[in-house]
């Protein structure tokens, strides 16, 4: 009998225990992947951020407006290739935030220059540009509410009182998987030229998004923009899109940390369960192991046998867990979608799956070290004498 | 019945695997209890920011003070309502307030959004739970601010005697206040007019109205909504703050219970592995028990009880661990208001009891199948083993 056969026999010595251990490991791996995906969710926007984009916001806070007149002054700066502005509208479908989704007032003519990853068919884009109250709807959002081109959508303004009706002129898709297609974008003129807006609130925008010609110069361009408005009543803070998004993650860091801590606890639990099983197995096989050693097998062969056992358990758990995790993530995304807006497709990244599977196998191997050492440390004579 | 003493001894006899199982179960119970305590902490932090006699008045349809707005005249009209309580000097306790978001520099994470509340003369009187801890109240018409207790030290200048800088102005800190651990403790309070001017807003965002008794609240809410002179809506203050917390609390609760559920499956399997092993190594012993006259169901109960003991031990360990987290304070972004909120893990007897029961239940479930196997052993085979 070769080593593989021997290891196989050892593994199948107690099939029930093996099954339970693998299941327990798989459950742990599933939970670990699930939590990693939740952490990913926080970084989702930051990951989609482009290096050549800057976000200009009011220095006081991003809820304070900036004047529309900054547009031309930013566009004229050297290194700036295009500028667009957007304003968080914060409308809801009903009276509550139960069906939350993001909605922005954007500049129809410059938006796609700065955000080329949003794809709109040319005719739809032309129709959108031609209608002051036209709207572009992300394909996932359109799917969620069954909206088609030509539909009328009425939002209740939270920040801008009243009912606002927009005509869906186009459905946009993402050029790559990371693009958020769950938002509604409508023309800024519809908002700004409405007679419901008081004089004091006209010609204000939320943020400017700026594209620079060379990402290496973006720090310089950002400094130039802030310098330009330093002594105005509306000073700005300009940072890369990534830094802007990471700012939100940083503010939620306590939660992200908590989730990471729980992830480590999970690895610890997998370690305990697998370690426990292996220790039992080794204890039961004390006499077999002593016999092997009495026959002249080297300690390292015995160690290898125990470790290969734990590696197989780890691999099986990882495979099972990685299969089950995306399902769990899907259920979770559905549960929180009503409050935080629809979640992007394919939340679980392949990268996360690989890293988690690898972590599981490593943890399993680690769990095997104790029992393996125990197996070889015992004097052969004592092992042979021992009953049960 | 097989005496419990026997089970305790047999668990002790296999200290290593018992210990590992208990620690595993304990970790699961820990996560379960800690999550419930955290969600409870957020809810109590935000919901206790409210007095049952108080009503928050917002523009109709606005979900939070930050996005709401109302005319100064409307605040004046509210003061004429007969049920409004009066302050010590006889003025009606209606306070127009302006809430804005500011970004303060903070320690390692570079910036934190903080709510600033522009207050009127009545703001303190209308909220008896808000008490100065040190310093004094800001004088009207100046840039002086008072800080909520949990903001102290979160930003370099956020201390008594420090000077905040925002909106291109300096704001000296003259006092620190407490609010029974409520959401106000995460706010900066400044004069409403000065704050409004600095932020280019001359209207109020909301009004807080103190009524003579909590019993008047419902009628007042109806009167506000029926009043044709404005389009406002009123909400009891505790309800308003509970709503502000609901998103974050629900997120943590859903996330936590999801994880606890998945975890508990793993832990039940772990307990099962241990108990199967216990049964397998004790076949002769169990056969002996049967031979001396214990019934099948006694053996079954004995194994289940032993497993439940494991679970309870894990529950105690986990609950104790979770209790230790009450000294940790968390400061994070509330996605609903975009402002930071501070809260802690707040344990309740119900959560701790729930944790113990959760642990015991996991043990019971894990022990059930092994116990069945143990009770089905035939005496003869068992003794021969």
A272 contacts in B (CB within 8 Å)?
Answer: 20-21, 23-24, 27, 270
B69 contacts in A (CB within 8 Å)?
Answer: 161
Q: Per residue in A96-144, pLDDT tens? A: 666 788 899 999 999 999 999 999 999 999 999 999 999 999 998 898 8
Phi, psi of A139, deg, nearest 5: -65, -35
Inter-chain residue contact A233 with B67, CB threshold 8 Å:
no
Comparing CB atoms, the residue among B168, B262, B335 nearest residue A27 is: B262
What is the average pLDDT across A155-165? 86
Comparing CB atoms, the residue among B17, B69, B255 nearest residue A280 is: B17
The C-alpha of A95 sits at a distance from chain B's nearest C-alpha, in angstroms, of: 6
Reported ipTM exceeds the 0.85 cut: no
The C-alpha of B363 sits at a distance from chain A's nearest C-alpha, in angstroms, of: 15
A34 contacts in B (CB within 8 Å)?
Answer: 258-259, 262
Is residue B43 packed enough to be buried (19+ CB in 10 Å), middle (13-18) or exposed (0-12)?
A: buried
| CB burial string A214-253: b at 16+ within 10 A, e below | eeeebeebbebbbebbeeeebbbbbbbbbbbbbbbbbbbb
Comparing CB atoms, the residue among B17, B38, B265 nearest residue A279 is: B17
CA angle A107, A138, A115 (to 5 degrees): 45
Compute the distance between CA of residue B154 and CA of residue A105 in angstroms, rounded to an integer. 34
What is the average pLDDT across A8-18? 84
A61 contacts in B (CB within 8 Å)?
Answer: 100-103, 113
| pLDDT of residue B6 exceeding 60 | yes
How large a percentage of chain A has pLDDT more than 90?
Answer: 37
Instruction: Give pLDDT, residue B258.
Output: 83
Task: Record the tokens describing residue A20, joined without a space.
Answer: 């339970």
The C-alpha of A250 sits at a distance from chain B's nearest C-alpha, in angstroms, of: 6
Residue of B nearest to A58 (CA): B167
Inter-chain residue contact A273 with B250, CB threshold 8 Å:
no
Q: What is the pTM of this model?
A: 0.82
Q: Per residue in A277-310, pLDDT tens? A: 888 888 888 888 888 888 888 888 888 888 998 9
Comparing CB atoms, the residue among A38, A63, A156 nearest residue B101 is: A63
Q: Per residue in A211-248, pLDDT tens? A: 999 888 888 999 999 999 988 888 899 999 988 888 88
B45 contacts in A (CB within 8 Å)?
Answer: none
Inter-chain residue contact A16 with B276, CB threshold 8 Å:
yes
Inter-chain residue contact B276 with A31, CB threshold 8 Å:
no
| pLDDT of residue B192 exceeding 60 | yes
Q: Which of A250-254, B264-268, B303-307 has the highest mean pLDDT?
A: B303-307
For the ranges A143-147, A351-355, B39-43, B299-303, the lowest mean pLDDT is seen at: B39-43
Instruction: Please report how many Cα atoms fall inside a 13 Å half-sphere around the Cα of residue A134, on the Cβ side.
Output: 18
Q: If you count residue pairs, one on A and one on B, with CB atoms under 8 Å apart, how many are there?
A: 162
Comparing CB atoms, the residue among A250, A268, A388 nearest residue B110 is: A250
Best residue in B239, B277, B281 for a mutation probing chain A (most A CBs within 10 Å): B277
Inter-chain residue contact A60 with B17, CB threshold 8 Å:
no
pLDDT tier for residue A388 given thresholds of 50, 70 and 90: very low
Task: Record the tokens describing residue B353, joined without a space.
Answer: 């009891």
């Amino acid at each position: 009998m070769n080593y593989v056969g021997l290891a196989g026999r050892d593994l199948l010595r107690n099939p029930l225990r093996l099954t339970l251990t693998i299941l327990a490991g798989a459950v742990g791996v599933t939970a670990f992947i699930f939590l990693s995906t939740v952490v990913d969710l926080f970084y989702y926007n930051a990951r989609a951020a482009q290096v050549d984009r800057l976000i200009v916001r009011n220095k006081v806070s991003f809820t304070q407006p900036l004047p529309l007149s900054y547009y031309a002054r930013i566009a004229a700066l050297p290194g700036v290739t295009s500028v667009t502005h957007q304003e968080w509208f914060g409308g809801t479908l009903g009276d509550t935030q139960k069906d939350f989704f993001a909605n922005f007032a954007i500049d129809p003519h410059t938006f796609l220059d700065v955000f080329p990853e949003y794809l709109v068919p040319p005719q739809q884009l032309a129709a959108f540009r031609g209608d002051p109250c036209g709207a572009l709807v992300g394909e996932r959002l359109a799917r969620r509410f069954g909206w088609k081109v030509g539909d009328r959508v009425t939002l209740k303004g939270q920040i801008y009182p009243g009912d606002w009706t927009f005509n869906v002129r186009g459905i946009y898709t993402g050029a790559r998987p990371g693009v958020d297609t769950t938002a509604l974008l409508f023309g800024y003129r519809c908002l700004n030229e409405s007679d419901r807006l008081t004089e004091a609130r006209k010609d204000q925008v939320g943020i400017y998004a700026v594209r620079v010609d060379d990402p290496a110069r973006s720090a310089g361009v950002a400094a130039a923009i802030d310098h330009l408005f330093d002594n105005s009543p509306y000073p700005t803070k300009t940072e890369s899109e990534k830094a802007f998004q990471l700012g939100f993650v940083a503010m939620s860091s306590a939660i992200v940390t908590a989730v990471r801590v729980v992830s480590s606890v999970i690895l610890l639990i997998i370690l305990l369960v697998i370690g426990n099983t292996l220790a039992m197995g080794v204890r039961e096989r004390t006499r077999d192991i002593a016999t092997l050693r009495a026959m002249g097998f080297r300690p390292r062969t015995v160690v290898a046998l125990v470790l290969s056992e734990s590696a197989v358990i780890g691999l099986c758990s990882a495979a099972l867990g990685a299969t089950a995790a995306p399902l769990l993530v899907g259920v979770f995304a559905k549960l929180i979608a009503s409050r935080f807006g629809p979640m992007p497709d394919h939340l679980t990244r392949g990268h996360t799956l690989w890293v988690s599977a690898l972590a599981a196998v490593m943890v399993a191997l680690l769990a095997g070290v104790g029992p393996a050492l125990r197996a070889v440390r015992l004097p052969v004579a004592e092992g042979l004498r021992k009953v049960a | 019945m097989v005496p419990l003493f026997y089970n305790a001894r047999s668990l002790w006899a296999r200290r290593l695997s018992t210990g590992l199982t208990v620690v595993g179960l304990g970790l699961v119970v820990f996560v379960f209890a800690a999550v419930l305590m955290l969600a409870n902490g957020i809810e109590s932090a935000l919901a206790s920011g409210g007095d049952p006699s108080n009503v928050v008045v917002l523009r109709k349809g606005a979900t939070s003070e930050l996005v709401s707005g109302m005319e100064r005249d409307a605040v004046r009209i509210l003061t004429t309502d007969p049920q409004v309580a009066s302050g010590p000097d006889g003025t009606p306790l209606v306070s127009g307030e302006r809430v804005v978001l500011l970004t303060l520099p903070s320690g390692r994470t570079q910036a934190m959004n903080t709510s600033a509340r522009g207050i009127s003369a009545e703001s303190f009187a209308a909220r008896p739970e808000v008490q100065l801890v040190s310093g004094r109240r800001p004088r009207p018409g100046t840039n002086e601010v008072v800080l909520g207790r949990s903001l102290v030290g979160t930003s370099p200048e956020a201390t008594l005697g420090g000077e905040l800088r925002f909106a291109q102005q300096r704001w000296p800190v003259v006092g620190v206040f407490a609010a029974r651990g409520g959401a106000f403790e995460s706010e900066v309070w400044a004069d409403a007019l000065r704050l409004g001017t600095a932020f280019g807003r001359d209207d109020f965002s909301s009004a807080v109205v103190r009524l003579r008794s909590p019993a008047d609240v419902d009628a007042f809410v109806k009167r506000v909504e029926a009043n044709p002179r404005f389009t406002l809506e009123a909400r009891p203050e505790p309800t308003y703050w509970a709503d502000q917390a609901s998103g974050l609390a629900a997120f943590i609760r859903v996330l936590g219970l999801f994880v606890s559920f998945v975890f508990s499956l793993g832990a039940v399997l772990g307990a099962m592995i241990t108990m199967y092993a216990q049964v397998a190594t004790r076949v002769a012993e169990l056969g002996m028990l049967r031979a001396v006259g214990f019934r099948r169901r006694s053996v079954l109960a004995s194994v289940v009880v032993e497993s439940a003991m494991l679970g309870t031990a894990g529950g105690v360990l986990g609950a104790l661990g979770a209790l230790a987290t009450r000294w940790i304070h968390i400061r994070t972004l509330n996605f609903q208001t975009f402002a930071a909120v501070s809260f802690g893990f707040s344990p309740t007897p119900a959560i701790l009891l729930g944790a113990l029961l959760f642990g015991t239940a996991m043990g019971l479930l894990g022990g059930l199948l092994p116990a069945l196997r143990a009770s089905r052993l035939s005496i003869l085979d068992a003794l021969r083993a």
